[in-house]
Structure 1
Amino acid sequence: MITFNGVDKSFTENRKAVKGLSFTIERGEFFVLIGPSGCGKTTTLKMINRLIDASSGTITINGSPHTDVDIHELRWNIGYVLQQIALFPHLTVAENISVVPEMKKWKQKDIERRVDELLDLVGLDPATYRDRLPEDLSGGQQQRIGVARALAGDPDIILMDEPFSALDPLVREQLQTDIKALQQRIKKTIVFVTHDMREATILGDRIAMMEEGELQQVGTAEELQQNPATPAVSAFMGRYSSQRNLTLKEVFTPTEKSEYIQPKFDTHLQHVQFIVDEHGKSFTTINDGAKQQTVDAIDHSSSIKAAFRFLESNELAAVPIQENGKIIGTVSYKDLARVSIDNQ
């Protein structure tokens, strides 16, 4: 589908941003480029749709050099989703999605049908969102519109440059799940840039790790973890393993009183207080003093991801943490979001 053959990119005489890249991305594959900042992954992505041209080597799409295709036609047939989203602020959601179909001179009724189809596809009700402006949308909703816009011209290839990195961790996790399910449904080839190995593991069929402009290894997450090809891959995967193994015991807020636990985080999910009996076992949440709800504690050995899911499913701002059957503290959205951001 997409093949790099000995590709170099130099921005100055003395510095190559990428060096000797050779690999193939298969049709319908979710392919992730990963590595530290400045490793050349975004440059590699941008060379696919010629936002940046290679200095040497060749890039072929479906067996033909992509430089043989008119550059406007090439870009119309490759969707592109950015971290900054970059929706046109003065255009409605429908108008934003319609940009490429209009350039390709689709009939208006076909464009309208496509807009509604894509809004449904990314989980937004067309009747509710079609005529809204970007400023009326949350960050997650804007990014869904960005994905819909990238799909509007029905391209075979979608490029995504760290599209979720600026979003709240919970929104980011949901969009990761949704975009993976969407790709499996529509079978597009997606090339995705990230610096987050957890994200790469969730999304990628295969992962290409880069370091200082050079390709270190291409393989599944398991292959990179179990059989790192270079010391750079081994070090990168080692950092990921230490992040992945964090438990709630390392991030929770300890109990300071035996009578109750007061979480330090207050969200739109209401103020929460946990009341513990003399044995440190039973507890009740009180929301705004008007609603009482019995809640189970979560074990201190549980993962960060498990705690996120627990909070979301129980609609709580915080949850008690137990060890050996006794409450030892709480963990909140703020605690979990902080550790997720710190360990990216």
Structure 2
Amino acid sequence: MKLAIDAMGGDYAPEEIVKGVELARDQHSDIEFLLFGQTDKITPFLKDNSHITIVQADEVIEMGDEPVRAIRRKKQSSIVLAAQAVKEGKADAFFSAGNTGAVLAAGLLIIGRIKGIDRPGLTTTLPVITKKDQDSFVMLDIGANADSKPANLVQYAVMGKYYAESVMNITNPRIGLLNNGTEADKGDKVHREVHDLLLETENINFIGNVESRELLNGVADVVVTDGFTGNAVLKTVEGTALSMFKMIKGSIMSGGVGGKLGAAMLKGTFNEVRNQMDYSKYGGAVLLGVKAPVVKTHGSSKAETVVNTISQIKSMIDTQSVQNVISYFDDQAKKAANEEENA
């Protein structure tokens, strides 16, 4: 198993990327790591190069670069060369903490879409805070596409199902459509159409509409939405969690000696809550619908998140999650062709 890693992407690259790769290498002896980037900047942080190969990339796509233009102009960048390695079969997956738009563009333009997928979707794993038998759920699309057609959301549901089964080990995952109410007739014209299409889709466990206030309560295993809404919900969840912690900290600091003593006694509880809300432990966001795993972590990711993301990618490869999606849409195309021929 070989992973192509953009060593130059992220706020703490290449140091934290290299640290994370070395930790992952120590955990997974069956993985070969290809680190794409500037050799002179990567080497000082590399303590042991076993199972690690540095591939020189003269250019770096910066966070502020326009994604598609950068992919086309910076042909020797770490992102482009890493994606190219996957396309050419030299690596099995592509991982980066760099420019999100550029990573998505590289996945689409270089690695390519699965036949039958109109628009790949970006998925993330979020925590469930109230159920003991469920610790997380998957949501997609969270920003790959601002505009989506009903058929796109149906494809997200299918891809989300296979991802939840293979990576999260969930049997027959519950799939919900994010809407402004749980009734079947809720939402705009697009959402009502998607609801009806999902009811008709075979081999998925569609449970109907779900509301955003119930997401962290584990209302579904896979939550389907358009990229605009998904991105807004994701940032709302992140912002609310951060604001709550700041508010609690502010109240403690202004509460005098009693407040600080109480906080000291509850330190373990606060750490447990913070850990439960830390979705980075589940890995990165996955671009589902392309021919190989393409995974993007947050730009502020450090070594621990890199390790978690590599474990996530390994699960995708071991369980052939991408191949399962390819097979599903191949079967759908054959079925449609047979129906047309017999009509």
| Structures share fold, TM-score greater than 0.5 | no
Greater RCO (Cα-Cα under 8 Å, separation 6 or more): 2
More strand, by proportion? 1
More helix, by proportion? 2
User: Which one has the largest radius of gyration?
Assistant: 1
Q: Report the TM range for the smaller structure's normalisation.
A: under 0.3
